[in-house]
Amino acid sequence: MTNKCSHSEMVSLILWTASKPLSLSFIKPGRKETVLDLAKFVDKGVSVKLSGGRQVTGTLKGYDQLLNLVLDEAVENLRDQDDPLKTTDQIRPLGLIVCRGTAVMLVAPTDGTDEIPNPFLQPDAA
């Protein structure tokens, strides 16, 4: 005995299956954890790049699962007015700030990092 379905029954079965939510066994309900382990950076200097191009440096005092960061003694590296993609040596002291997690693009420790000139930059032929 074979089970045969009509075309409309098969389409109905596919649509019914597609409308059911997937139950993935590797997704565990409950508390969500962050992708980054920021605990090792607490009370240490960090540099944070934010969406929109701003860059701030300070001491990480706290964070939460949404990646909201609390920085103390924070300073903002001001951007060049002619080229907003470049930062200047000018800084603006901010003090104690909260960086909203949705704006955080990059978090990097300040210890052990130095800025170097771009070795791939070609000199202008003008």
pLDDT digits (tens, 9 = 90+) for 104-125: 999 999 987 777 888 898 887 6
What's the pTM? 0.63
Reduce the DSSP state of residue 112 to 3 states and report it.
coil
* Domain assignment of residue 28, yes or no: no
Instruction: Write out the E strands in 1-126.
Output: 45-50, 55-63, 69-79, 87-99, 104-109
Comparing 117 with 8, the larger pLDDT belongs to: 117
> Structurally, how many domains does the chain consist of?
1
d(CA 61, CA 37): 14
* Domain assignment of residue 13, yes or no: no
pLDDT range class, residue 13, cuts 50, 70, 90: low
Mean pLDDT score, 19-46: 69
pLDDT digits (tens, 9 = 90+) for 40-67: 999 999 999 999 889 999 999 999 989 9
Cβ pair 93, 77 in contact under 8 A? no
Q: Identify the CATH number of the domain in which residue 47 sits.
A: 2.30.30.100
